[in-house]
Structure 1
Amino acid sequence: MLNAGGNEAALSDFFSLKGDILTLPESPPPLLPTPIETLRQLPVDFRFLARRVWEEYGPRFLTRDVTWAAWCPIVSSPYKTQYRDFYVDKASLSAILALCREHKTTITALMNGLALVSFSSRLDSKTAPGFQSSTMIDHRRNLPPASSPPPDVPWGENERAVGNYVTQLMHRYEPGLVAGIRSKLLLPGTKGGDLSADLVHELWAEAARNRQQIVDKLQNCQHNDLIGLFKWVNVRDWQETMREMAKKTRQFSWIVTNIGVMMGGSDDDQKWSMTRAQFGLSAEIPAAAIEFSPVSVAGQGMSVGASWPDCALDSAFGEGVMGDLERWLGQLVRG
């Protein structure tokens, strides 16, 4: 494409791809990185397995959960992604990180807490009595050391493969907790959409609890993990699997991607470096209503992105949530 010059016909050929989009050769099959459930033992006990089977195949009227995102039904078309973001400068991010350390939490956990308060304020108790969210957890750290892939593969070691080595941690926000947050939203003494002192205290408490859940998961990531079930799952048609998922109730109201900090390469001998990073997801129809993607570059500021399916969520709602997060982070910085 870069070498096409001003040849419009050549450019047209590149853009059309002649129907070859996502077409993979059938023989021989494409050489892909080895799944982590094949590389590493991920044991699950009977109770965990039975609960997952019941949630997946049990009658809907018996498995209904008030914390699921029934308020946002899964709609499969039109398939478009909405994306919004805001930027937290270096000084503000440093102040937020200091507050996180003071309250024994992290940016990721704080994002979950902020989203909880925002969703609680924008949805009433009848529409959404409780919530579930998900934090993405890196599974690459659990790859076996010096694991060797098949010969003649370009990535050399499994640790260097471009693979989707992640799992997820579910956070559950019971109706009692959400009702308590909603009651504090009605307290007087706030202005311009700021949080009350009681609600700020509740926010930090929830962020600390969320962070502890992440720590516990990291310490025991290989036991009773969702990915451990994949060894019993034979997905021959992923599109059909997604269509079946789209018939069910949405589980998560939001997820946090948990990318964290990227090293920018600031050594003097570097020929290039990064000063700002931005990340977004293509909205997955059966997944969370909103997907938050905070990411920063070491020694710089932080970008907070959010993606949602255009067909399932009103843009005014998504923009309102992002406005809440930006405003409340600013409030925390100001004290």
Structure 2
Amino acid sequence: MVADNSTSPQTLRKLGHSEHFSSTRHHLGIYRCVTVSCRHLYPPSSPSLPQGAEISPSFFAALASIVKEQPALRVGITGEDSGNAHFTHIPQFDLRDHVSVQSVPCETAQEYEDKIAEHQGWEHDQKWQNLETRPPWRITILRPTSNNEAVLSQLGGQEDVFFAFHHSLMDGTSGRLFHELLLSALAAHQDQDKEIPTALSFPEPASLPEPLEAAVNFTLSFRFIVGILWNHFAPSFLKPKKQPIWNAKPVDFALPFKTRIKPIDISPETLSVLLDACRSHSVTLTALLHSLVLASLAKRLSSSPAESPAFLSGTPINLRPYLTKKPDDKTSGSTTLRCLVSTCVHQFSPKTISALRAPDADINALIWENALQVKKELAAKLALTPRDDITAMLKFVGDWDAFWRGKDGKPRTESWEISNIGVLKSAETANNSPKATRMFFSNGTMVAGPPIGVDVASVAGSKLTVSLSWQDTIVDDELMDQLRSDLRGYADKFSETGSSFV
């Protein structure tokens, strides 16, 4: 059932500042969605075993139960092209308009994996249509098909479930939570074998959680405010010259929006070795990944030191631990899908880069040293939050359209970003329900953001997947191939030796 467009939709609350941050990017087409996919493996005995393009009644029943509980999944957005965007009440829509199935012909298992990565990139390139009357999220299910019996035997019983969504609705952590909720709901509805109505009605408007700035008690010191405003608006001749960094090509709104993605799968065994080493060196896996990316890029770009004298990276910060507690408010719960994220910045100086490029460099020692520095920066940021957080400064942006357009043609401010949405912990599933074996998370093209996205997700007891994403032509394909090869090589080498990345 398609929503009735004959009347103007009922508006709900105004988008908050961080929600405007994302809605204006979507309006300009410079950032379109977040995507988190999850691989489901069904037991051979399951009545819900994937068949052709069929979507089982149990899947629709599970999805309907989640949509009914999650306000973010049943609202639209109006006024995206203005500074007065609001969420809208969507009284009815059909789940069949949000779920589709695609068969993926493949002659090898690797061909299937390549097509999964290609589709993940495709998800990022789509703009949301009819935003006022259609919730901006979708599920696409990819299922392998083959004339090769050996391939069918290897891939049998599995499907990849893609969940793509507008960033104003929720963040990457919510994407992981959605998949946890879906797996739990599939287990609860596994015996659903009769078709159910997929047209859902919601006469009463959704009770949305409050915007980020109302959910977290941010405080800003006068010194912090002045420092940020000075950095952005003071004449350049009054400020010290910024340290040049490698940041690929400048922002260019005219380039085609095409997302490239390359995943790296880390086995449970290798992951266990890396995590043990992280604990013994008092660092986190995210901090180690920053250091490994740095080591790779410092090496691969060493032939052009003038263009890569230093680097700057970012880490999105999950703000859920800093929510103002409201025990009676159902929308403040830890499983509510919403957007609660800030960021932490890491600078890698010319001295740090020169040390990595020195002929006699102890690369292994430097990797742990730089990882520890990132860990300390993250710890300091978390200890300070919610004081002096850059997210609280978004309220000073009066014209988002001008803000973004002002970046067109300018150098990027970061070299890469690493976003880690954590571990998917699926509940104990029933005999016939699917279990998760892989989670694949990506931010996709960030036209006005970092040139490289490094996104991390894992499944408890299974593999960890690192995705590398970039806008086509912004970063050379050869460099991205080298980065992927280095990261995989570092992990494999350390797993073999227990002490050395190189």
What's the TM-score bracket when you normalise by the shorter of the two chains? 0.7 to 0.9
Task: Give the 3 Å change call, closer, same or farther, for CA 39–156 of structure 1 in structure 2.
Answer: closer
Task: Give the 3 Å change call, closer, same or farther, for CA 39–73 of structure 1 in structure 2.
Answer: same
- The aligned amino acid for 2:276 is A
Q: 2:252 aligns with which of 66, 75, 93?
A: 75
Deviation of the 1:101 alpha carbon = 1.0
Contact kept in structure 2, 1:36 and 1:165, CA below 8 Å: yes
| Superposition pairs of residues 214-225 of structure 1, within 5 angstroms | 214-225=378-389
Contact kept in structure 2, 1:66 and 1:128, CA below 8 Å: no
1:182 aligns with 2:290: no
- The aligned amino acid for 2:217 is Q
Task: Give the 3 Å change call, closer, same or farther, for CA 95–45 of structure 1 in structure 2.
Answer: same
Deviation of the 1:129 alpha carbon = 1.0
- Secondary structure at the residue paired with 1:327? helix
Deviation of the 1:82 alpha carbon = 0.7
Deviation of the 1:3 alpha carbon = 9.1
* Counterpart in the other structure of 1:291: 453
| Superposition pairs of residues 1-335 of structure 1, within 5 angstroms | 21-24=129-132, 33-60=209-236, 62=239, 64-76=241-253, 77-123=255-301, 124-146=304-326, 156-157=331-332, 159-183=334-358, 186-187=359-360, 198-235=362-399, 238-266=400-428, 271-335=433-497
Task: Give the 3 Å change call, closer, same or farther, for CA 67–265 of structure 1 in structure 2.
Answer: farther
Deviation of the 1:267 alpha carbon = 5.4
TM-score when normalising by structure 2:
0.55
Deviation of the 1:160 alpha carbon = 4.2
Deviates more, 1:96-105 or 1:155-164: 155-164
Q: Distance in 2 between matches of 1:267 and 1:225?
A: 40
- The aligned amino acid for 1:252 is E
Deviation of the 1:270 alpha carbon = 8.5
- Secondary structure at the residue paired with 2:275? helix
* Counterpart in the other structure of 1:152: none
Contact kept in structure 1, 2:342 and 2:390, CA below 8 Å: yes
- Secondary structure at the residue paired with 1:303? strand
- Secondary structure at the residue paired with 1:214? helix
- The aligned amino acid for 1:296 is S
Task: Give the 3 Å change call, closer, same or farther, for CA 39–55 of structure 1 in structure 2.
Answer: same
- The aligned amino acid for 2:356 is I
- The aligned amino acid for 2:256 is P
TM-score when normalising by structure 1:
0.81
More strand by share: 2
Q: Distance in 2 between matches of 1:63 and 1:79?
A: 35
Contact kept in structure 2, 1:43 and 1:222, CA below 8 Å: yes
Identity, % of aligned pairs? 25
Consecutive unaligned residues of structure 2, counting only runs of 5 or more, are 2-52, 56-95, 101-126, 134-204, 498-502
Encode CA deviations 1:216-265: one digit per residue, 9 max, x unaligned: 22222101111121233345xx4543222334321110110021211133
Task: Give the 3 Å change call, closer, same or farther, for CA 3–120 of structure 1 in structure 2.
Answer: closer
- The aligned amino acid for 1:110 is L
Q: Distance in 1 between matches of 2:276 and 2:333?
A: 36
Deviation of the 1:327 alpha carbon = 0.8
Contact kept in structure 1, 2:397 and 2:403, CA below 8 Å: no
- Secondary structure at the residue paired with 1:293? strand
Task: Give the 3 Å change call, closer, same or farther, for CA 304–65 of structure 1 in structure 2.
Answer: same
Encode CA deviations 1:117-174: one digit per residue, 9 max, x unaligned: 111112232001111100111011111112666xxxxx74464442221011000111
* Counterpart in the other structure of 2:159: none
- Secondary structure at the residue paired with 2:420? coil
Deviation of the 1:20 alpha carbon = 7.8
Contact kept in structure 2, 1:258 and 1:293, CA below 8 Å: yes
Consecutive unaligned residues of structure 1, counting only runs of 5 or more, are 5-10, 150-154, 188-195
Q: Distance in 2 between matches of 1:46 and 1:72?
A: 35
Task: Give the 3 Å change call, closer, same or farther, for CA 304–43 of structure 1 in structure 2.
Answer: same
Q: Distance in 2 between matches of 1:303 and 1:41?
A: 34
For this pair of structures, how many residues does the alignment match? 304
